[in-house]
Structure 1
Amino acid sequence: MSHNHGQAANRNRLLIAIGIVATVLVVEVVGAWLSDSLSLLADAGHMLSDLTGLIVALMATIVAARPPSDRQTFGYQRAEVFGALINGLILLVVAVSVSVGAVNRLLSTVEPEVQSTPMLVVAVIGLVANAAALLLLRPAAGHSINMRGAYLEVLGDLVGSVTVIVAAVVILFTGFVSADAIASLLIAVLIVPRAFVLLRDVVRVLSEAAPADTDVAEIRDHIRGTKGVVAVHDVHVWAITSGAPVFTAHVVVEPEIFSSGKTGELLDELSGCLSKHFDVEHSTFQLEPAEHAAHEDELHQ
């Protein structure tokens, strides 16, 4: 599947997921009002943040599909990373807000009247809808940081629905209404690791660190092992967005590579090696004779 087709498929997935999440959000808000359930309201708040995040993710895929220009030479693919950054920050805000509400209710001397039956029904509806949205987004989650953010948000919603269901069952059979506030606190706790993972990936891309699954030393060894290559230096590996690594290097070659006009063949072999073995589609090599490499700045060694 081409990059453009993949982005179109991602947009379609996001549109359907947005419809599902928006519908469940309305149902949960009404259910929270009818049942006086804080955990259901917390899950609705989580759904609201996820709806916002999904909309941001959708806009990011639209912007990222714009072609490169003289000003944006790599195009707008990094818009997906900024979308993921916004998603991560939204998740942190929701986690803090829900935690404060849960603690206040647990410390309050007034016991709320939580209606467990409507709370349970709405939570089950949310569980089914979130499961459907999760299956929809899962195929794209491994290829795009933006889509992974959307996937993690819906996954959190699904876990939140399960938590609310458990709290509703506890209240229904035991009358322990504090289970509602405890469940909302658990939902907040579950949000934080997802936000951390997402923001960690964003920082890795924005700091132009080598992708986590890229072994730079192994790439050097592959290049050195290519016939005609003497040495390699000034190696740089980073990512425009997740799944789009970029590679540059200076490659010192034997004199006959230039004298026999085999530079084109060598470049094809090197770029093919990176594409096949390391999934790097955008690579740039500067071929150098040994005498030129000797004049390179020591900091490039």
Structure 2
Amino acid sequence: MAHDHSGAGHSHDHTAGANTKMLGWALALTSTYLVAEVIGGFVFNSLALLSDAAHMLTDVAALVIALLAIKMGKKAPDEKRTFGYRRFEILAAAFNAVLLFSIATYVFVEAIKRFNEPQEIQSLGMLIVAAIGLGVNLISMRLLIAGKEASFNVKGAYLEVWADMIGSVGVILGALAIKFTGWTWVDPIVAVAIGLWVLPRTWILLRDTTNVLLEGVPRGLELAQVRKEIRSLAGVTGLHDLHIWSTSNDDVSCTVHVTLGGGADADSVRQSVSALLEARFEIHHTAIQTESPGEPCDPEQAHE
């Protein structure tokens, strides 16, 4: 029985694109506007502004989490955490998604109250604050766009800023409608619309992070297809214990037990399987175990 641990020499920047300087600038802008929007929401009595501010709060949280995740992700594995600290990013992103769900619930409840008891709203102030928010969102999106595919948290922050940009547009339109028609019920409708716009994207983020925490097969990969292509290699008569998972969205690993055909060279088969996984499925971290037909799998010889 033989083992192969490929990818040991494979090195890549797990935080590629997640530029800490750009994240820092986006955080400074967003935090400053968050304070202004909360004040404006109360001063101008706008639930739509407060709803947008709630989402802006999750933007701030996402940016802080992304910066912390980059720092934690760079910490080397140790005796207690042999995979390092990459999963901190996933836990943080999942927390951020849950936080947004909670805030959305509050906004929906408050909106129902305002439908029953309409309140006076200062539309001009609401319009000015929302316009400033639109500018902040556009700048923050420009800062984050480069790193959104490299990190769950940067992607989460980008999606929230993007959704907030749509929210700012909604608040602007709502403020204009209230100013020219006097329909104050437009304010809670805009607040609810912002929540409904953001929640599906939040659900996607929560779904993807949960899949990583459960060590599920990463999105875009099909276990049946991987199994089929490994079986098609020369010298392979079967395989079992195929596992594919990731510790983050850009760090996919695979382990598999391969049964050799008669006369097949174990080293050649392991190299073929490793090359296939890397070229066809972009899986760079592999642990391939070979065994002869009828040879029992020894659990004591697990992957190191």
Same fold per superposition (TM over 0.5)? yes
Alignment of 1:223 onto 2:227? no
Q: CA deviation at 1:27?
A: 2.5
Counterpart in 1 of 2:192?
185
Structure 2: runs of 5 or more not aligned = 1-10, 300-304
Which amino acid is 1:251 matched to?
V
Q: Which moved more, 1:192-201 or 1:135-144?
A: 135-144
Which amino acid is 2:285 matched to?
H
Which amino acid is 1:282 matched to?
H
Is the 1:10–1:147 contact (alpha carbons within 8 Å) kept by the matching residues of 2? Answer: no
Counterpart in 1 of 2:242?
235
Counterpart in 2 of 1:274?
277
Alignment of 1:44 onto 2:42? no
Matching residue within 198, 203, 206 for 2:205: 198
Is the 1:4–1:65 contact (alpha carbons within 8 Å) kept by the matching residues of 2? Answer: no
Counterpart in 2 of 1:82?
91
Q: Deviations over 1:134-193 (max 9, x none)?
A: 232233223322222222221221121111011011012211111112111212222322
Which amino acid is 1:286 matched to?
Q
**Secondary structure of the structure 2 residue equivalent to 1:214:** coil
Q: CA RMSD in A?
A: 2.1
Q: Which runs of 4+ in 1 moved over 4 A?
A: none
Matches within 5 A, 1:89-238: 89-108=98-117, 111-238=118-245
**Secondary structure of the structure 2 residue equivalent to 1:209:** coil
Larger helix share, 1 or 2: 1
Q: CA deviation at 1:292?
A: 1.0
**Secondary structure of the structure 1 residue equivalent to 2:163:** helix
Matching residue within 66, 69, 72 for 1:60: 69
**Secondary structure of the structure 1 residue equivalent to 2:32:** helix
Is the 1:88–1:195 contact (alpha carbons within 8 Å) kept by the matching residues of 2? Answer: yes
Aligned-partner Cα distance in 2 for 1:250–1:220: 11
Matching residue within 286, 297, 303 for 1:283: 286
Q: CA deviation at 1:132?
A: 2.1
Q: Deviations over 1:184-242 (max 9, x none)?
A: 12122223222221211122111111112111111122212222222222211111121
Using a 3 Å threshold, how does the CA distance of structure 1 residues 3 and 146 change in structure 2: closer, same or farther? farther
Q: Which has the higher contact order (CA 8 A, sep 6+)?
A: 2
Q: CA deviation at 1:286?
A: 0.2
Which amino acid is 1:196 matched to?
W
Alignment length (residue pairs): 289
Is the 2:17–2:148 contact (alpha carbons within 8 Å) kept by the matching residues of 1? Answer: no
Aligned-partner Cα distance in 1 for 2:116–2:291: 71
Aligned-partner Cα distance in 2 for 1:206–1:222: 27
Which amino acid is 2:31 matched to?
A
- TM-score (structure 2 length as normaliser): 0.87
- TM-score (structure 1 length as normaliser): 0.88
**Secondary structure of the structure 2 residue equivalent to 1:129:** helix
Alignment of 1:244 onto 2:220? no
**Secondary structure of the structure 2 residue equivalent to 1:237:** strand
Aligned-partner Cα distance in 2 for 1:24–1:211: 36
Aligned residues with identical type, % of pairs = 37
Aligned-partner Cα distance in 2 for 1:221–1:32: 57
